[in-house]
């Protein structure tokens, strides 16, 4: 059975691209398009990994990450923040919120994401 990843991303275009990248390495991907939906999905059916955008409607990715890390059901799940919000301050905020990695959406994002999955032991 393929490992399941939860992607929390409000842009349908970007969600499709990230999903394609993850599926290309044999992962199954579920998509939630906002924070509350992502939290619900993660709690009801915990994935092996959560890929989280920072800029989300109603609740930003930092808030979502903090809630995931405070919840006993989801606190053990690695969270990778994948976002356009780059820069040292945003990165520090992401890691402080509990993210396991913080990846800016740039031309290296897919490669960086795959490397992080290997480091976390999710991919062989």
pLDDT digits (tens, 9 = 90+) for 72-110: 999 999 999 998 877 889 999 999 999 999 999 988 999
Question: What is the tally of structural domains in the chain?
Answer: 1
Range of the domain at 20: 4-119
The C-alpha atoms of residue 92 and residue 96 are separated, in whole angstroms, by: 6
In a domain, 27, yes or no: yes
In a domain, 124, yes or no: no
Can you point out the beta strands (E) in the chain? Answer: 4-8, 28-32, 49-52, 79-83, 101-104
Q: Are 38 and 72 in contact (CB under 8 A)?
A: no
- Closest among 124, 75, 119, 84 to 104, alpha carbons compared: 84
pLDDT digits (tens, 9 = 90+) for 18-37: 999 999 999 999 999 999 99
Average pLDDT, the chain: 94
Q: Which CATH number fits the domain that encloses residue 64? A: 3.40.50.2300
The two structure tokens encoding residue 53: 């955008």
Contacts of 60 (CB under 8 A, 6+ apart): 35, 54
In a domain, 107, yes or no: yes
Planar angle of CA 22, 27, 51, nearest 5 degrees: 55
């Amino acid at each position: 059975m393929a490992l399941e990843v939860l992607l929390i991303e409000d842009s349908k275009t970007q969600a499709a691209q990230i999903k394609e990248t993850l599926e290309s390495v044999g992962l199954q991907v579920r998509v939630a398009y906002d924070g509350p939906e992502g939290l619900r999905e993660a709690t009801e059916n915990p994935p092996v990994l959560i890929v989280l955008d920072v800029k989300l409607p109603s609740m930003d990715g930092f808030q979502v990450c903090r809630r995931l890390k405070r919840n006993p059901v989801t606190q053990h799940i690695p969270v990778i923040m994948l976002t356009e919000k780059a820069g040292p301050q945003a990165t520090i905020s992401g890691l402080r919120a509990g993210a396991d990695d913080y990846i800016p959406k740039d031309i290296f994002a897919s490669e960086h994401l795959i490397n992080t999955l290997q480091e976390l032991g999710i991919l062989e």
